Structure 1
C-alpha cells in the first residue's frame, strides 16, 4: 500500500484533473436540467421515517470514512471534529455554495446565510458524534448500531431542538426572506459561471476524502473505484434518496427517479473523476521517479 503525501503527487496533473472533475461533474446536472428538461425534485415529499433512513446511511458512510481517515490524523478531538465538519459541509455544498447561490439568485444575502446556520449546526453535531464514536467501533454490526442511534438522535432530537432555537430569529427576519428568484431556466452565463466556480467547494472536499482514504481502499483498482464511489455518493446522501423520491413523488417512477437521480449521477461523476485524478497524477509521478 502506498501512502499519499504531497511529495508523491504530480501537482500540475493533479490540479488539471481537479478542474476537469469540477466541470464535468456539475455538467451532468446542468445537461439533465437544461438540455433534457428534467425538473428539480420537491424534497417536501420525504416523510420523517424516510429522512431517518437516509440519514442513517449517510452517517454510516461518515463513520466508515472517519474510521479509515483518522489513522492519518493524530490530533485532538477538536481538530478532528473541525476537519470532518469542513469536509462534510463542503461535500454537502452547504458551507458556502448553497447559501451563496441562494443569496445570488434572490438578492436576499443575509437571510440566505443566516437561515443556513441551523443546517451547519446539525452537521456539526453529527460530526462530533462520529469523531467521538469511530475509534471505539471495530466491527460492522457496531457501525450499523451506532449509525442508527446517531441518525435517531439527529432526526428526532437535535434537528427539532435546533429548529426550535432558531425559530424566533427566523421569525424576526421574515421581512428579509426572498420574495422572488431571478435565476430562471434556461440559465445564462450570469448564473452558470458562479455555479461552476462555487462547485470548487464539493470538488475540494471530495479530493480531501480521496487523499485521506485512497491508500486504504481495496487493492484492486476496480474495487477501489467502486468503494470510493459508494462512499462519496452515500456521504452526499444520494445512495437511497433517488429511489425513495421516485417511490414517494407524484407521477410515475422513472421521471421521479430522473429528477432526484440527476444529483446522484453528479455525485457519482464527482467520485469517479476524483478517483481518476488521484490514480492518474500519482501513477504518473511514480513512473517519472522510477
Structure 2
C-alpha cells in the first residue's frame, strides 16, 4: 500500500543499495542504447524520418502520451500530493523532459557539430527547445488534470485529455517554433554542419553513451513514483511499468502507426521506429527488474 511504502520495504536503505542502484543504472543505460546503436551501426536500420506523418496521427500519439502521464500522476499521488500543485507539476514536467532524452540530445548535437563555436549552440538549442517545452507542459498538465479531476467521473478525463493535447500540439508547439525561428533569424543563425560522421570514434561515443543516463535516471524515478500504485505480483507490476514507459515515450504509437509514413519499405520502416521501441523496452524492463528487487519486502 502506498501509505506504508516506506515502512514495509527495504528501499535504498543503505549506502550499498544506492551504490548498486547507481551502477545498475549505468549498465542499463549502456544496454538500452546499445540496442539502438547496433541497429543503426551494424544492422543497416535507418533513422526514421517522421516528416511525412500526418497531423492526425501525431495528435493521436500526443493523446496517448498525455493520457499515460495522467495515469502515472494518479499512481504517484502518494508522493506528489505531498508537494504543492506547482512543485508537483514542475517535478513531473521535468521527468517527462528527461525521459525524452532532451538534455542528452542537445549535448550530442553540439558534440557532433562543434556547437560551442560561433553561437552554433543557440541554433541547436532552438531546434530542440520547442518539443522540450511541449514535453514539460504535457507533464505539468497531466498532474493538474489528475488532481483536478480525481473525484470526477472518468468521462471528464476522456474529454479533457484530447482538448489539452490539441492545445499543446496545434497551438503551443507552433508558437514555440515561431519564437525559436524568430531568434534564429534575429541572430542570423544557420544550421551548423556535422563535423563528425558515423561511424563515430570514442570521443563522440563517450558522450552518446554517457548521457543516456538521463532517461535511465528518469525511468528509475518514475519507478519510485509509480511502483507503489501498481498491483499484483512483481512480474505483473514489471509488465505494467514497462507498458507505461513505452506509452509515455510514444514508442507504441510510433512503431504501430507512424511506420506507415516512413519513407522506406514497410519492414524497414517498422524496424526504423522499432529500434527505439526495443531501446525503451530494454531500459524499462531492466529498471523495473532492479526496482522489484530493491523494493522487496523487508525481513
Provide TM-score, normalisation by structure 1.
0.91
Stretch moving more, 59-68 or 214-223: 214-223
1:79 and 2:91 equivalent?
no
Contact 1:241 1:260 in 2 (8 A): yes
Given that 2:50 and 2:261 are in contact with CA atoms closer than 8 Å, whether structure 1 keeps it comes out as no
User: Which of 121, 128, 150 is 1:116 aligned to?
Assistant: 128
Whole-Å Cα distance in 2 between the matches of residues 222 and 35 of structure 1?
A: 32
Q: CA deviation at 1:55?
A: 0.6
Paired with 1:4 and 1:113, the residues of 2 have a C-alpha distance of: 40
Give the structure 2 partner of residue 190 of structure 1. Answer: 203
Q: How does 1:206-285 map to 2 (within 5 A)?
A: 206-283=219-296
RMSD: 2.0
1:46 correspondence with 2:57: no
SS in 2 for 1:239: helix
* Aligned positions, number: 284
- Residue of structure 1 equivalent to 2:118: none
Q: Which residue of 2 aligns with 1:89?
A: 97
Segment of structure 1 superposing worse, 242-251 or 80-89? 242-251
Measure the CA separation in 2 of the matches of 1:234 and 1:174: 38
CA distance in 2: counterparts of 1:19 and 1:231, whole angstroms: 21
Q: Decide whether the 8 Å contact of 1:210 with 1:278 is kept in 2.
A: yes
Q: 1:249 to 1:117 in 2, by over 3 A?
A: closer
Deviations 1:207-231 (A, max 9, x none): 0000011121122222211110111
Query: 1:4: Cα distance to partner?
Result: 5.0
CA–CA distance in structure 1, aligned partners of residues 6 and 29 of structure 2: 21
- Report the counterpart of residue 129 of structure 1 in structure 2: 141
What does 1:58-77 correspond to in 2, within 5 Å?
A: 58-73=65-80, 74-77=82-85
TM alignment of 1:134-149, pairs within 5 A: 134-138=146-150, 139-149=153-163
Q: What are the ranges of 5 or more consecutive residues in structure 1 without an aligned counterpart?
A: none
Q: In structure 2, do the counterparts of structure 1 residues 186 and 277 end up closer, same or farther at CA, with 3 Å as the change threshold?
A: same
